[in-house]
């Protein structure tokens, strides 16, 4: 019997790579006759994408093969043609990231079915399904002058302030998104007779096998977990904003003031933003750097109750009994990990579709504490210490309605 091979094509970037790899491992757990090759197309717009891929490859299932190729079509053909003459392996499909719909044409040319994989929430998927219909009726992108929009998949009208900027056609993003959405009906799971999409829920894709999501120094990782071991249960608020999340110095100072006012125990990932206009990987602060941007004496005053780190072990921290709250940028996989471990979130979205995730968690579902819903990186809007203090106090409240709901779901 010939073994079936799937070619997975993700967008380079941690938020896309991790869920699709977790999905591949779930397939292995259920159907061991599959093999998977992950084809990663390097991008200059994703800092450290090559290093992230190598880190994930080292920690993921050994049955997953990795290929990094700049030219997708040539790479797919080279993967497919040898297997077409093999008696043991048959390529049965392309599993494409949401934003890789251009690969559908290659699949058609080679006679291979394509399947779209979405790591976003179902509500955002609903927005994408509705986008072509809405555009055909309205004939234009969303407008910032509109106070709110009715979007299928969301229980309440969605304020314009939380919509992703690409829906307003900033930098041509709307037209690109619309083109992706129009191509959804070309994949194999579309029922052309009745115009229904066949959707297979595969989540939640929380990694239970320890996929290394970010490159973290092993010694520092052990020190962080050792420090958490010394803290009381549910006493630590964890602040982490993902692989691209960083703040300027005034905002870092406000966060510090907010944490110190109530003497919260904290684990705080602080990373240095790239120079303005530059798109590069975040850098780590030295202790001397931190002393220069934090309030005078902050490190000394909080050394027994707080720990500042660079890149943080998000999955391990959220699973630790000492962590009782999470200030998060609201990437969907972060939300899932937090829910899985029963840790309530205070929302601080930064970029992309995170604002809509935060809105849904706070307003539609009542599963998060609102710190900010409409914050956007680089807009010069300072979140003040009193706002941070209030949100952290709420998220750490052991009897809050949000915490009780989260515990019921965990």
> What is the set of active-site residues?
16, 97
CB 182 within 8 A of CB 290: no
Please state, in angstroms and rounded to a whole number, the distance separating the CA atoms of residues 161 and 372.
11
- What residues contact 210, with CB distance under 8 A and at least 6 apart? 59, 315
- The 8 Å CB, 24+ separation contacts for 136-145 are 141/167, 141/168, 141/169, 141/174, 141/175, 142/167, 142/168, 142/174, 143/168, 144/168
Exposure of 114 in the CB half-sphere (CA atoms within 13 A): 24
Identify the CA nearest to 110 among candidates 86, 62, 138, 75: 75
Please state, in angstroms and rounded to a whole number, the distance separating the CA atoms of residues 309 and 220.
8
Please state, in angstroms and rounded to a whole number, the distance separating the CA atoms of residues 170 and 168.
6
Please state, in angstroms and rounded to a whole number, the distance separating the CA atoms of residues 114 and 103.
8
């Amino acid at each position: 019997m010939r073994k079936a091979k799937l070619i997975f094509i993700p967008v380079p970037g941690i938020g896309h790579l991790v869920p699709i790899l977790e999905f591949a491992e779930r397939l292995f757990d259920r159907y061991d006759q599959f093999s998977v090759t992950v084809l990663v197309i390097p991008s200059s717009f994703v800092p450290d994408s090559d290093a992230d891929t190598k880190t994930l490859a080292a920690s993921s299932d050994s049955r997953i093969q990795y290929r990094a190729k700049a030219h997708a079509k040539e790479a797919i053909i080279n993967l497919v043609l040898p297997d077409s003459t093999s008696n043991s392996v048959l390529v049965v499909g392309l599993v494409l990231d949401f934003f890789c719909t251009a690969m559908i044409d290659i699949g058609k040319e080679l006679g291979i079915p394509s399947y779209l994989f979405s790591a976003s929430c179902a509500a955002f998927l609903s927005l994408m399904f509705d986008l072509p219909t809405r555009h055909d009726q309205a004939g234009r992108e969303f407008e910032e002058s509109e106070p709110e929009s009715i979007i299928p998949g969301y229980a309440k009208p969605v304020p314009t302030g939380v919509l992703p900027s690409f829906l307003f056609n900033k930098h041509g993003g709307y037209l690109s998104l619309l083109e992706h959405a129009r191509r959804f009906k070309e994949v194999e799971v579309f029922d052309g007779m009745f115009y229904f999409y066949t959707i297979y829920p595969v989540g939640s894709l929380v990694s239970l096998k320890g996929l290394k999501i970010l490159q973290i120094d092993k010694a520092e990782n052990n020190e962080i977990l050792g420090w958490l071991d010394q803290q009381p249960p549910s006493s630590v608020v964890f602040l982490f904003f993902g692989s691209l999340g960083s703040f300027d110095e005034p905002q870092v100072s406000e966060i510090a003031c907010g944490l110190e006012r109530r003497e919260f125990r904290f684990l705080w990932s602080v990373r240095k933003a790239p120079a303005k206009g530059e798109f590069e990987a975040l850098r780590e602060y030295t202790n001397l750097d931190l002393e220069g941007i934090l309030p005078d004496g902050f490190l000394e005053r909080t050394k027994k109750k707080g720990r500042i780190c660079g890149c943080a072990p998000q999955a391990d921290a959220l699973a630790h009994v000492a962590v009782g709250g999470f200030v998060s940028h609201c990437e969907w996989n972060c939300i899932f990990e937090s829910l899985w471990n029963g840790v309530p979130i205070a929302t601080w979205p930064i970029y992309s579709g995170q604002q809509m995730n935060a809105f849904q968690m706070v307003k539609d579902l009542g599963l998060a504490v609102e710190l900010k819903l409409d914050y956007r990186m680089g807009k010069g809007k300072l979140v003040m210490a009193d706002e941070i203090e209030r949100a952290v106090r709420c998220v750490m409240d052991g009897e809050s309605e949000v915490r009780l709901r989260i515990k019921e779901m965990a």
